[in-house]
Structure 1
Amino acid sequence: MKKKLRILLVWILVSLVFQFGGHTLLNIQIQKVMGLTPLANEPPITLQLQATIPGSELTNIQVSYAKDYLAYMEKGTLKIFNLKKEKIVFEKKSPSATDQTLGVLRYQWLPDRNILLYFYAKKNPNEVTTVKVYPPQTIVPNPSVVEKTEDPNQGEIVTQKVPTEPRYEKRYGSPQLTEMYSLELPDSDEDSAPEDRLNSFDPPSCSEEIAAGGKLEKFVVAAATNLMYLTVTNGSTQQLMKINVMKNLSTLNKPRELINNMATSDRFSTLYLDSKVGTIQQVAAIQYVEALKKDKRLVISENTNDRIIGVRNGRVYIGEVVDNQLVKIKTTYDLEVMKDNPALKTEWEGSVPYNKNISALVGGKGQIIVCDNHTANIITEGHLTEVKLQGDENYISADGVELVQFTKSGTSTHVELQPLI
């Protein structure tokens, strides 16, 4: 009896092991198919190379995921430069040489692929349209009431409708259209051309809605779910918009809300933002709740000095800023279902400059990088390291591992890539 019981227990244990392993393998495969494999499983790519770019007025420089392409603006034209082959492989010019509101507005590399998403504004060819409108038909008043009889041959009284002539009306749309494109780059060793694809909105009128909202200022992507968030500002009014995978557009902002910074989860579709409504400053989160079939807003921190820095590897990083100095780094878990006012853990305390000329990001290894054009302050596991930057202009990759230094030389620019630390 004991022997049979031991055999039964062994088989149960073996069955559980196989079930657990099978479920784990299946889950990994599903994540790969859906593109949800956490980026933390893949070490960041670093390169060490030098190249010369034809041009000296480069702005808004961004390096690709694989560190082999640069995207930048030069005199109103978006250009993509192949760093290995040292040549420009793509250009997107503005449709106007004088109107600075047209052309490429904002762009961003995806964090796990050599794909650049960008927004492009152009004149609306159908700003004014003429439509034919039919007024309601005129109904002739009923004749005098006729006394009802039992005569079955008495005819029914028919109400007559008099047709009316149509009229033509002008309809006015937005003077501009804002379109979204995805530019897919081949391997940098290949000679094939990039694929520039228009991602049409549903409905198409969303192109007018974005343009009518004002100036497109901020743009972030939740790569795990392909959701996009953008802020559009017109004077003192700001709108927060979301674009889902079906290219539907929705508005998420509160009335009179101003959003200073945004960051998305690298695992879920959660948006974290610095929100200010009147005198109330908060770090907030917006999450789609499947059970409610709508987005839900949550408060992450009510401390008016707290600012969102970024999200990486399951953690939300928040900086406390006092008198233009970053004095504290705090974290909380990036969960699939967030709650109001989660516990915040202090990871570092000190003091480094933090103002409008400073940029901050969370590196792939959880390090916080706070930098201007000359100095990078790197906080790793509670320790602060200062790195002096040598180029005329300096840029750090979005994953925090690559330093890109630019030195102007006449009408060209020398670029050097190397690991940051």
Structure 2
Amino acid sequence: MKKKLRIILVWTLVSLLLQFGAYSFLNNKVQKVMAPVDSEPITLQLKSTIPGTDLTDVQISYAKDYLAYMENGTLKVFNLKKDKVVFEKKSPSNDKSFGVLTYQWLPDRNTLLYFYAKKNPNPVTYVTVYPQKTTTKTEIQTPTSTSTDPKTEDPNQKVNKEVPKVVPKEVPAEPRTEKRYGNPQITELYSLELPNSDEETAPDDRFNQTIDQFPAGGKIEELVVSTSTNLMYLTVKNESTELLMQIDVMKNVRTLSKSGESIDTMAASDRYGTLFIDSKVGATHQVIALEGTKRQIISKNTSDRILGIRDGNIYIGEVENNVLVKIKTTADLSELNSNPSLKTVWEGSIPFNKNVRTLIGAKGQMVVYDHQTAYIVKAGQLSEVKLHGDENYVSVDGAELMQLTKQGTSTLAELQPLNP
């Protein structure tokens, strides 16, 4: 009896140990998926000569080996390691409202998203409409008898007379032609996947969808992407309206803006897809969080601006007279409440006019830069880096500096790590 009891206890203990080991293994795997280990951002040190000097809207790819830019209305992608253009997308006409509207590299892979507009060849269509059949009532006369009415001596005797019958009759309605007015502009979303820069494989240019709701002649002011939730947000302006649009992975398009609302800057959560905007309606300026159509006020301070979001932190800057004087943070949560507490992590003075660019680096550093100076705030400390190119750009992870210098009919691109 004792021997059997001992065997049962041993097997019970073994079973518990196996279950605990399996649970620990699965828990570790889940934790790696939910909170992946941070990897060091990619940095390169190289020089490359790009043909042409009129390069605008220059953007560095995730792996720092490709460059996207506009040149005379044409989108070009340049392989920095092989010194050659590997992709071009020209405008379909001389109309400046057509062609590539905007583009952006994804932050975690060498994929470029871009919007392309062209003229709708059939903005007006004609449709034949067949109305429902109409019903009319028609009297049908019953033939009169050829015999004479019977004579009677009784004047009160009732004489039956035939009454015409009313019979419903279907009358076919005539078809008519109606004119239908469509969008005079076709706006399409593409994704361009680039191979390893050492390979000879051609880029994969994929059509994603047509944005039917895109206003004709609209200009995309800003585009942000949340790769974890596959949500894309863009602000579109034309002569009469300003729209905030959301595109999800199912290709659904929604308009999230309020009537009369102007949006200066926006950023999307890299965890939950929540959108944060600098919203201005009349004299009211607020930092707003949008979860679908639900809105929460993050800050009512008219001097506050959204700076960016990275690794669970929302960064808000206080700007006075074109000077950034304070950086504040609050947690990026799955469910936000209005007016959360804001923690001040830095105070000082950084020029902050319309010409500066801002980003939150992979290591939590705040980078504010123009073409002359980069200001870097890390762990509450400010450092300055003087830039020496004619034009200077920093990668979205804050790790790489690219300096462009014009040399005759070409442009020299120098890449190096951005160190404080």
The TM-score with structure 2 as length reference comes to 0.88
Q: Which amino acid aligns with 2:74?
A: T
- 2:148 corresponds in structure 1 to none
> What is the distance in 1 between the residues matched to 2:296 and 2:225?
19
Quote how far apart the aligned CAs of 1:226 are: 1.3
* Matched residues, number: 391
Q: How many angstroms does 1:332 deviate by?
A: 0.6
**Residue type of the alignment partner of 2:229:** T
Cα RMSD of the aligned pairs, angstroms, is 2.4
Give, as a single letter, the amino acid of the residue that structure 2 aligns with 1:91. Answer: E
Q: Is the 8 A contact 1:213 1:239 kept in 2?
A: no
- Cα distance in 1 for partners of 2:21, 2:282 equals 56
Deviation at 1:54, TM superposition (A): 0.5
Aligned counterpart, 1:150: none
Alignment of 1:101 with 2:97, yes or no, is yes
The code of the aligned residue for 1:370 comes to V
Aligned residue number for residue 166 of structure 1: 175
Q: Tell me the distance in 2 between the aligned counterparts of 1:46 and 1:89.
A: 21
Equivalent pair of 2:97/2:217 in contact (CA under 8 Å): no
SS at match of 1:212: coil
Residue 260 (structure 1) aligned with residue 269 (structure 2):
no
Q: 2:318 aligns with which of 317, 320, 332?
A: 320
Aligned pairs (5 A) from 1:331-346: 331-346=329-344
Instruction: Give the match for residue 131 of structure 1.
Output: 127
Q: Which residue of 1 aligns with 2:360?
A: 362
Distance in 1 (CA, whole Å) between partners of 2:10 and 2:299 is: 54
Deviation at 1:16, TM superposition (A): 4.3
Deviates more, 1:385-394 or 1:13-22: 13-22
Q: Is the 8 A contact 1:241 1:253 kept in 2?
A: yes
Aligned to 2:235: 231
**1:24 partner SS:** helix
**1:92-241 paired onto structure 2 within 5 Å:** 92-96=89-93, 98-141=94-137, 158-201=167-210, 207-212=211-216, 214-235=218-239, 237-241=241-245
Q: Which runs of 5+ in 2 are unaligned?
A: 141-164
Residues 177, 211 of structure 1: 8 Å contact kept = no
Q: Which structure 2 residues correspond to residues 244-393 of structure 1 after superposition, within 5 A? A: 244-288=248-292, 295-393=293-391
Q: Identify the match of residue 50 of structure 2 among 13, 38, 53.
A: 53
Quote how far apart the aligned CAs of 1:135 are: 2.9
**Alpha-carbon deviations, 1:294-328, whole Å to 9, x = none?**
x3211111111110010001100000001111000
Instruction: Look up the equivalent residue of 2:270 and give its one-letter code.
Output: D
- How many Å separate the matches in 2 of 1:261 and 1:306? 11
TM-score, structure 1 as length reference? 0.87
**Partner SS, residue 329 of structure 1:** strand
Residue aligned with 1:209, SS: coil
For residue 9 of structure 1, report the CA deviation from its aligned partner.
Answer: 8.8
Quote the offset at 1:141 in angstroms. Answer: 3.3
Question: For 1:274 and 1:119, how far apart are their aligned partners in 2?
Answer: 24
Alpha-carbon distance between aligned partners in 2 of 1:14 and 1:134, rounded to the nearest angstrom: 72
3-state SS, counterpart of residue 354 of structure 2:
coil
Shift of 1:124: 0.6
1:214 Cα offset (Å): 2.4
Corresponding letter in the other structure for 1:388 = K
1:397 maps to which residue?
A: 395
Give % identity: 59
Corresponding residue number in structure 1 for 2:158: none
Deviations, residues 264-283 of structure 1 (Å, cap 9, x unaligned):
11112111111111111111
Counterpart residue type for residue 409 of structure 2: T
Structure 1 residue matching 2:214: 3-state secondary structure: helix
Are 1:173 and 1:208, in contact at CA under 8 Å, matched by a contact in 2?
A: no
In the aligned structure 2, how far is the partner of 1:170 from the partner of 1:299?
Answer: 45
Cα separation, 2, equivalents of 1:116 and 1:373: 24
SS of residue paired to 1:22 = helix
Task: Write the letter of the residue equivalent to 2:261.
Answer: E
Amino acid at match of 2:46: L
Match of 2:149 in 1: none
The SS at the match of 1:208 is coil
Q: CA deviation at 1:330?
A: 0.3
Aligned partner (choices 66, 71, 76) of residue 63 of structure 2: 66
* Partner secondary structure for residue 125 of structure 1: coil
* The one of 48, 60, 75 aligned to 1:78: 75
- State the distance in 1 between where 2:216 and 2:133 align: 36
Output the CA distance in 2 between the equivalents of 1:174 and 1:299: 35
Moved more, 310-319 or 336-345: 336-345
Aligned 8 A contact 1:319 1:326 in 2 = yes
Separation in 1 of the partners of 2:302 and 2:244?
21
Structure 1 gap segments, 5+ residues each: 145-155, 202-206, 289-294
Shift of 1:217: 1.6
- Alignment partners' CA distance in 2, 1:362 and 1:116: 20
1:216/1:232 contact within 8 Å kept: yes
Whose radius of gyration is greater, 1 or 2? 2
One-letter amino acid matched to 1:273:
I
| Structure 2: distance between partners of 1:256 and 1:77 | 33
Instruction: Report the Cα distance in structure 1 between the residues aligned to 2:248 and 2:271, rounded to whole angstroms.
Output: 16
Question: Relative to structure 1, is the Cα distance of residues 6 and 135 closer, same or farther in structure 2, using a 3 angstrom cutoff?
Answer: closer
Please say if residues 185 and 217 of structure 2, whose CA atoms lie closer than 8 Å, have aligned partners that are also in contact.
no
